[in-house]
């Protein structure tokens, strides 16, 4: 009778001895003190770091580090237990996964309907936003069909 192969135990995560930090790029380049089982996905590659109790006893919750974020491990002190901190990195073309929406105090739809703005003045993101919010205006923003004559802003503002 053949003997069963001994079960390999998953190593228990050990926190580093002191404060540590690194910039998260991907799980492969993470330092050895990061548990590779924390690999996650949140709008792109991410790291789900334990928040609160580092050894996973309940209630279990996480802090998410995304590409470009700096991860800090803070060793225990007399007044605080060991914990992770995540500082958001600046978005760059390499690590951005979601475009920041265009923001205006005026309604793009109203400005297009009144002729205060023409479809040519909208960027591709703004066109997609208007078409998504107002399907009836999709042809207007995508093809420029049905756009009213442009109005000069000076015609709307009293100058004297």
Would you list the DSSP string of 5-29? PPPPPPPPP---SS-EEEE-S-STT
Q: State yes or no: pLDDT of 2 exceeds 70.
A: no
Which residues have CB under 8 Å from 41's CB, separation 6+? none
Q: What is the pLDDT of residues 12-56, one digit of tens each?
A: 788 888 999 999 988 899 999 998 888 988 777 899 998 877 766
Strand order in the sheet with 45-51: 39-41, 45-51, 61-66
Average confidence (pLDDT) over 85-98: 72
Show the DSSP H helices in the chain as ranges.
108-114, 124-133, 138-143, 153-156
Positive or negative CA dihedral for 130, 122, 152, 160?
positive
Asked if residue 89 lies in contact with residue 111, where contact means CB atoms within 8 angstroms, the answer is no
**pLDDT at residue number 104:** 56
User: Considering the entire predicted model, what is its pTM?
Assistant: 0.52
pLDDT of 6: 61
């Amino acid at each position: 009778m053949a003997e069963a192969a001994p079960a390999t135990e998953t190593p228990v995560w050990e926190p580093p001895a002191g404060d540590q930090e690194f910039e998260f790029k991907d799980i492969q380049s993470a330092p050895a003190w990061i548990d590779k089982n924390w690999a996650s996905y949140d709008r792109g590659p991410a790291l789900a770091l334990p928040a609160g109790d580092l050894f996973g006893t309940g209630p279990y919750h996480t802090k998410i580090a995304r590409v470009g974020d700096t991860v800090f491990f803070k060793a225990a002190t007399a007044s605080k237990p060991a914990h992770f901190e995540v500082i958001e990195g600046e978005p760059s073309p390499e690590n951005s996964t979601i475009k920041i929406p265009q923001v205006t105090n005026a309604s793009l739809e109203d400005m297009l309907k009144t002729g205060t703005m023409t479809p040519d003045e909208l960027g591709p993101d703004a066109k997609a936003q208007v078409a998504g919010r107002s399907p009836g205006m999709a042809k207007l923003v995508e093809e420029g069909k049905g756009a009213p004559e442009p109005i000069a802003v000076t015609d709307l503002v009293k100058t004297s």
